[in-house]
Structure 1
């Protein structure tokens, strides 16, 4: 995957710019297809929705490309990628995340890990999503939500943090599986989403998967929730809440580090604007909780999140 992911990104991004074959001029209502999440799949900024991304509807191909940057007190995350959609049924996505983990050099004060100054962690993500029931628009006046199942295969490249991963017993790759239900109440301009994820990921995978502590190497089910309110056809505000496993804290306690490796839920408040049917911009205030609080003075990682997406 190390060599293939940039090629996949380039191919899908080219399709997003040029426009996929047999794509009609109609498309979806603005913002009802979500935006690109940090893992590349359509949804909110930090959690997938059941919707299929791009502007394509049934019988059409669609494509999208995105870039995102989130900056907190101690860390910066840059993400970019692209997705391909078919027949309002299937979505394939690819993304790369670059996490500025410069603060991790402080781990050398705990043990001789050999973490290099200015270290970045990079992660490649391949995603697939299939709509299995419902239609967010056609079923807007019934109780039936749109439902999709999906997966995200992640491979992280820790660089000089490899020794830290080995100490924690965290592996470099794993696959998340999820089911999402999205309900659009069109006459009220309200969108509700719930996702249940089976995962081993630490900090979304940026700190590996699983841990050496007993009972922390396997999967757990984590819920994720989103709500969005369409203020007008091209403007939405909303909030997200994503629960995550706390695999590493038990390992840290066993090593005498207390809560130094604690992991918290992620949440955000966002505003999304679509100045045209091909462009959307998302601005959010994100609270990513504590990320390795032992080296960041127990600070909560809060900051701005900005994302841009083009879709056809």
Structure 2
């Protein structure tokens, strides 16, 4: 049976399309509004920035939509979503992720947990972001960054892998809270961003939230960093580094699994190209470290990330 988009996804899209004259027409400088993250908010591919998504500036309403595909040696992720920008002040976003876990499951055949072949883990992410200070473009000649606070509420549907999450003692929903500061240095053609996330998500939430003892169940603060260089007005290159909580490793060690449940930091090197004011394409080399290394022979998960965004 085909999965229909959640009603709220359709509602956000309909609201943006119905906004008519209020939609942004000229909008922001190319690429200064970021691209769509895997969670749907505006930023880099892996981490949110303080910028508000879409091309909308002050007094305008804008909308963006994205589709993403990432693949590593043992896993694949497909995602899509929409974001609504209100007056360059508030951003509402919704994204759906489909994580293909079947290759890794096939490697180890964890049948005792009732996991069936061809597993996909699905997760919905509802986000809201509020710009609380600064303006990345207008303050580009000062040291004042643009600052935003946001949250991402995530709900995962693990399918038959739910039995594994039960064993790990993880929850199937959780909320990340973050604050981002973005500094655009127009004269130097450089953008830098720092984000501090308060989270207990395992692998961004795809393996649930928290852990049974002796794993870590409480939230922790995790920093995330991005830097981008504007090669030209429509081309940027950059890198991201996202620290991750390692909630499950202690539980795995206590169960005699050693580092089989270890979680590593994420990083990427990306190229973003905007052939027009309404379209941007992002291609990245990603290194997601080891993802459940106990069933992937301890391989690092490296590969590509490709995302397309349309924004108005």
Q: Provide TM-score, normalisation by structure 2.
A: 0.95
Tell me if structure 1 keeps the 8 A contact 2:16–2:61. Answer: no
Map of 1:48 onto structure 2: 48
Tell me if structure 2 keeps the 8 A contact 1:108–1:114. Answer: no
Measured against aligned partners, the alpha-carbon deviations of 1:168-206 in whole angstroms (never above 9, x if no partner) come to 011000000000000000011100000000001000000
1:147-158 aligned within 5 A? 147-158=147-158
1:160 aligns with 2:143: no
How far 1:8 sits from its partner (Å)? 2.1
Distance 1:23 1:50 in 2: 21
Measured against aligned partners, the alpha-carbon deviations of 1:64-89 in whole angstroms (never above 9, x if no partner) come to 00000000000000110000010110
Map of 1:137 onto structure 2: 137
1:199 aligns with 2:199: yes
Tell me if structure 2 keeps the 8 A contact 1:105–1:116. Answer: no
- Structure 1 residue runs of 4 or more that deviate by more than 6 Å after TM superposition: none
Tell me if structure 2 keeps the 8 A contact 1:20–1:63. Answer: no
How far 1:217 sits from its partner (Å)? 0.6
Map of 1:22 onto structure 2: 22
How far 1:7 sits from its partner (Å)? 1.9
Aligned residue for 1:247, secondary structure, equals: coil
Structure 2 residues not aligned, in runs of 5+: none
Distance 2:124 2:146 in 1: 28
Structure 1 residues not aligned, in runs of 5+: none
How far 1:11 sits from its partner (Å)? 3.2
Shift in alpha-carbon separation, 1:107–1:254, aligned structure 2, 3 A? farther
How far 1:14 sits from its partner (Å)? 4.7
Distance 1:305 1:257 in 2: 31
Distance 1:228 1:294 in 2: 35
Map of 1:227 onto structure 2: 227
- How many residues of Structure 1 are paired with residues of Structure 2 in the alignment? 309
Q: Provide TM-score, normalisation by structure 1.
A: 0.95
Tell me if structure 1 keeps the 8 A contact 2:260–2:293. Answer: yes
1:268-287 aligned within 5 A? 268-287=268-287
Distance 2:69 2:265 in 1: 19
1:210 aligns with 2:210: yes
- Of 127-136 and 211-220, more deviation after overlay is shown by 211-220
Distance 1:59 1:20 in 2: 13
Aligned residue for 1:178, secondary structure, equals: strand
Tell me if structure 2 keeps the 8 A contact 1:22–1:61. Answer: yes
Distance 1:280 1:18 in 2: 23
Tell me if structure 2 keeps the 8 A contact 1:236–1:273. Answer: yes
Measured against aligned partners, the alpha-carbon deviations of 1:118-168 in whole angstroms (never above 9, x if no partner) come to 100000000000000000000000010000000000000010011100110
1:63 aligns with 2:70: no
Aligned residue for 1:268, secondary structure, equals: strand
Distance 2:227 2:70 in 1: 20
Tell me if structure 2 keeps the 8 A contact 1:16–1:65. Answer: no
